[in-house]
């Protein structure tokens, strides 16, 4: 019998975080609100407001609702087409990994929801008006609501046109991925072990009994509240070996159990959400990989856009500067899961995700190689010893790649001077 998933606050947080990114959620909410607004106007007839409210001609209300009903469906269809074109542009010009961030754009979702909600409101109200459901007060209420919906649609349309002109463009996509990376890195640096005790990154096989994944895919989320509860029931300790972003299979352990011999592996495995793709929320390394892919595609012979790679390098410097910046005391997550051990992210892994592909494919571009060395130098001037060592190591590797890729000796000398700091 499959183990039932516990309904925890952490699991609810992830559920609602995923739910708000679904395209159908906001249109559904506004459609229900539109239908409700139509029937709320019916109650105005029983309040005695008909004596003080001005009379509205039935033909004028029908004309307004007819215009809205005929135009909103066309605009909604046009909006969907523009959104699909923006998603395709983001996939081709940037990276397919950025599509979830482009889809979750608030302005675009609000615009589509407003257009569909206005269409539903106009259809329901038009049917109600033509069947003489409303009295004088109700008719005035519908007229007022129609004007309000018109204003909302016009303001939303103007904002949406400004956004859709930039949505899916490389610069806009870089901004969205950097924002996602900033959020993920900021959360992780304030909770390096996710509220658990610090554990080893690669525990040896003698450190406990392994629990393997029932499916093949990427770990998107770990419900530590469930792990803590199950560990307390079994009176054992849990060593997490697969952080969010890890690809797991039938022989890749999710965790190891210490302190007890008899336990239910499935009770621990259900705490891991495993999906075919990675997600940005709890996986800072995935955001760095996505940024690196954008720069890598820009450096391909078919695109030949080193300026985009230079923009991405600037984003990387900002992200790693954030990683070593002082913590905000009020946001530091305390240790609440004392039976769970979680490894923290290694700076070497973060640098590998961010710079390896970029340095490899940008080695032949002198402007990219110089900008990359300047970025490493800026990161090597921080007060974090691990980041200084990682920056110098990647600087030397990037220099070695440039020396092999460049044919002009003057270009090589310029890059060597920029990388001179790494030899110290």
Q: What is the pLDDT of residue 4?
A: 44
Give 13's Cβ-side CA count (13 Å radius).
10
Q: What is the pLDDT of residue 216?
A: 93
Residue 133 three-state SS: coil
* pLDDT above 80 for 39: no
* Distance in angstroms (rounded) separating the CA atoms of residues 15 and 62: 42
pLDDT in tens, 276-305: 999 888 899 999 999 999 999 999 888 889
| β-sheet bridge partners, residue 211 | 255
* pLDDT above 70 for 193: yes
Q: What is the pLDDT of residue 51?
A: 59
Packing angle, helices 58-93 and 136-164, rounded to 10: 20
Predicted model pTM: 0.82
Contact between 111 and 77 (Cβ < 8 Å): no
Which range has the top average pLDDT, 11-25, 42-56, 391-405?
391-405
With CA atoms as reference, report the closest residue to 5 among 267, 248, 337. Answer: 267
Q: What is the pLDDT of residue 3?
A: 47
* Distance in angstroms (rounded) separating the CA atoms of residues 101 and 279: 10
Higher per-residue confidence, 391 vs 167: 391
* Distance in angstroms (rounded) separating the CA atoms of residues 241 and 215: 16
Contact between 362 and 355 (Cβ < 8 Å): no
Percent composition of the chain: helix, strand, coil (DSSP 3-state, to 5): 65, 10, 25
pLDDT in tens, 199-234: 876 665 667 888 998 899 999 999 998 999 999 988
Contact between 343 and 285 (Cβ < 8 Å): no
Q: What is the pLDDT of residue 1?
A: 36
Mean pLDDT of 1-26: 60
3-state secondary structure 371-422: HHHHHHHHHHCCCCHHHHHHHHHHHHHHHHHHHHHCCCHHHHHHHHHHCHHH
- Residue 413 has φ and ψ, to the nearest 5°, of -65, -40
Tokens of 195: 């509220």
With CA atoms as reference, report the closest residue to 233 among 269, 260, 210, 273. Answer: 260
* Distance in angstroms (rounded) separating the CA atoms of residues 362 and 347: 22
Q: What is the pLDDT of residue 19?
A: 63
Higher per-residue confidence, 363 vs 24: 363
Where do we find the tokens 């040896």?
A: 204
Tokens of 147: 């004007």
Neighbours of 93 (CB within 10 A): 18
Residue 298 three-state SS: helix
> What phi-psi label fits residue 332: left (phi over 0), alpha (psi between -120 and 50 degrees) or beta?
beta
**Cα Dmax for the chain:** 91
Mean pLDDT of 128-137: 79
Mean pLDDT of 33-48: 72
Contact between 352 and 398 (Cβ < 8 Å): no
C-alpha triplet 72, 75, 76: angle, nearest 5°: 85
């Amino acid at each position: 019998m499959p183990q039932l998933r516990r309904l925890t606050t952490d699991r609810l947080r992830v559920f609602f975080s995923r739910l708000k990114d679904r395209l159908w959620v906001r249109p559904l909410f506004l459609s229900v609100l539109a239908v409700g607004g139509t029937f709320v106007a019916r109650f105005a007839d029983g309040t005695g407001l008909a004596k003080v409210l001005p009379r509205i001609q039935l033909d004028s209300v029908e004309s307004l609702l007819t215009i809205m009903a005929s135009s909103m469906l066309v605009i909604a269809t046009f909006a969907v087409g523009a959104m699909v074109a923006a998603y395709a542009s983001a996939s081709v010009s940037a990276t397919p990994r950025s599509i979830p961030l482009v889809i979750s754009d608030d302005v675009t979702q609000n615009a589509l929801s407003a257009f569909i909600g206005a269409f539903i409101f106009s259809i329901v109200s038009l049917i109600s008006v033509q069947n003489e459901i409303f009295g004088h007060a109700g008719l005035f209420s519908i007229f007022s609501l129609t004007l309000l919906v018109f204003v909302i649609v016009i303001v939303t349309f103007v904002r949406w046109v400004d956004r859709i002109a930039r949505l899916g463009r490389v610069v806009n996509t870089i901004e969205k991925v950097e924002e996602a990376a900033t959020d993920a890195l900021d959360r992780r640096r304030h909770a390096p072990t996710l509220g658990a005790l610090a554990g080893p990154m690669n525990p040896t096989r003698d450190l406990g009994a392994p629990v393997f994944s029932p499916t093949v895919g990427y770990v998107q989320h770990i419900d530590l509240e469930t792990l803590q509860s199950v560990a307390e029931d079994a009176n054992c300790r849990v060593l997490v070996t697969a952080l969010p972003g890890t690809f797991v299979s039938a022989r890749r352990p999710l965790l190891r159990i210490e302190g007890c011999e008899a336990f239910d592996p499935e009770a621990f495995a259900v705490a891991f959400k495993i999906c075919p793709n990675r997600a940005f929320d709890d996986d800072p390394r995935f955001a760095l990989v996505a940024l690196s892919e954008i720069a890598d595609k820009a450096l391909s012979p078919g695109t030949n856009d080193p300026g985009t790679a230079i923009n991405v390098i600037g984003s990387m410097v900002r992200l790693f500067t954030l990683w070593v910046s002082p913590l905000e005391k009020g946001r530091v997550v305390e240790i609440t899961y004392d039976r769970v051990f979680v490894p923290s992210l290694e700076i070497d892994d973060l640098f590998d995700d961010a710079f390896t592909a970029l340095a490899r494919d940008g080695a032949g571009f002198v402007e990219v190689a110089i900008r990359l060395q300047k970025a490493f130098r800026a990161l090597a001037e921080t007060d974090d010893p691990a980041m200084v060592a990682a920056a110098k190591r990647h600087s030397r590797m990037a220099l070695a790649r440039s020396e092999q890729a460049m044919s002009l000796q003057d270009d090589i000398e310029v890059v060597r001077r920029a990388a001179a700091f790494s030899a110290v």
